[in-house]
Chains A and B, each alone.
Chain A
Amino acid sequence: MSLLEIKDLHATVGGQEILKGINLTVDAGEVHAIMGPNGSGKSTLAQVLAGRELYQVTGGQVTYDGKDLLSLTPEDRAREGIFLAFQYPVEIPGVSNMYFLKAALNTIRKHRNLPELDAMDFLTRIRDKMTAMNMDQALLNRPVNAGFSGGEKKRNEIFQMAVLEPRLAILDETDSGLDIDALKLVAAGVNAMRSAERAMIVVTHYQRLLSEIVPDYVHVLAEGRIVKSGGKELALELEEGGYAALGLQDEAEAVGKA
Chain B
Amino acid sequence: MTVASEQIGQWLFEFTRQEPAEPWLQHRRERAFARFTELGFPTTRDEEWRFTNVAPIARKAFRKGHADKLLVTPSAVEELTEEEYERHLGRYAGFEQNAFVALNTALLCCGATALRVPRGVFTEPIEITYEVPAEVADATRDAKEQAPVAVHPRTLIVVAPGAQCTIVETYKGEGHYFTNAVTEIVAGDGAVIDHYKIQRESTEAFHVATMQVALGRSANFTTHNISVGGALVRNDIGVMLAEGAEATVNGLYLVNGTEHVDNHTVIDHAKPHGTSHELYKGILDGHSSAVFNGRIIVRKDAQKTDSKQTNKNLVLSDDAMIDTKPELQILADDVRCTHGATIGQLDAESLFYLQSRGIGKAQARSLLTQAFAQDIIDRIKLPQLRNQLENVLSEKFHEHGNY
Contact = CB atoms under 8 A, between A and B. Distances in A.
A89 B354 CA distance: 11
Contact of A95 (B348, B360, B371): B371
B375 to A, nearest CB: 7
Interface string A64-108: 000000000111011100011010011011110000110111011
B365 to A, nearest CB: 12
B349 A75 contact: no
A90 B371 contact: no
A125 interface: no
Given A95-B368, A104-B357, 12 more contacts: A73-B361, A75-B355, A75-B358, A77-B356, A78-B355, A84-B356, A95-B370, A95-B374, A100-B357, A103-B359, A104-B354, A143-B371
A93 B371 contact: yes
Contacts of A105: 358
B254 to A, nearest CB: 15
9 closest cross-chain pairs (CB), A and B: A94-B371, A94-B374, A78-B358, A104-B357, A74-B355, A90-B353, A108-B358, A107-B358, A75-B355
B371 A75 contact: no
B360 A86 contact: no
Contacts of A74: 352, 355-356
Contacts of B355: 51, 73-75, 78
15 contacts: A50-B352, A52-B352, A73-B361, A75-B356, A75-B359, A75-B361, A79-B358, A90-B349, A92-B350, A93-B371, A94-B372, A94-B373, A101-B357, A111-B358, A160-B357
A119 interface: no
B358 A164 contact: yes
A53 interface: yes
A160 B374 CA distance: 23
Interface of B: 347-350, 352-361, 363-364, 367-368, 370-375
Contact of A50 (B356, B360, B367): B356
A99 B374 CA distance: 13
Interface residues of A, number: 32
Contacts of A53: 348, 352
Contacts of A79: 358
Given A53-B352, A74-B352, A103-B363, A92 B358 contact: no
A54 interface: yes
A75 B372 CA distance: 22
Contact of B353 (A73, A92, A103): A92
A162 to B, nearest CB: 13
A164 B354 CA distance: 13
Which interface residue of B359, B363, B367 has the most chain A CB atoms within 10 A? B359
Given A75-B359, A75-B361, A89 B370 contact: no
Nearest to B364: A75
B367 A103 contact: yes
Interface of A: 50-54, 73-75, 77-79, 83-84, 86, 89-90, 92-95, 100-101, 103-105, 107-108, 111, 143-144, 160, 164
Which interface residue of A75, A84, A100, A144 has the most chain B CB atoms within 10 A? A75
Contacts of B361: 73, 75
Contact of B367 (A54, A90, A95): A95
Nearest to A93: B371
A32 B329 CA distance: 63
A112 B363 CA distance: 19
A250 B368 CA distance: 38
B358 to A, nearest CB: 4
B357 A78 contact: yes
B358 A100 contact: no
Contacts of A84: 356
A84 B353 CA distance: 9
Nearest to B371: A94
B371 A92 contact: yes
Contacts of B356: 50-51, 74-75, 77-78, 83-84, 86
A54 B349 CA distance: 9
B370 to A, nearest CB: 7
Which interface residue of B347, B350, B356, B368 has the most chain A CB atoms within 10 A? B356
Contacts of A52: 352
Which interface residue of A77, A84, A94, A104 has the most chain B CB atoms within 10 A? A94
Nearest to B373: A94
A94 B358 contact: no
A84 to B, nearest CB: 5
Contacts of A73: 355, 361
A89 B372 CA distance: 19
A154 to B, nearest CB: 14
B282 to A, nearest CB: 15
Contacts of A77: 356
B350 A90 contact: yes
Contacts of A75: 355-356, 358-361, 364
A105 B358 CA distance: 8
A95 to B, nearest CB: 5
Contacts of B350: 90, 92
B353 A94 contact: no
B358 A104 contact: yes
A113 B368 CA distance: 27
A226 to B, nearest CB: 24
A75 B179 CA distance: 45
B359 A94 contact: no
B262 to A, nearest CB: 26
A79 B357 CA distance: 8
A104 B359 contact: yes
Given A75-B360, A103-B367, A108-B358, A86 B374 contact: no
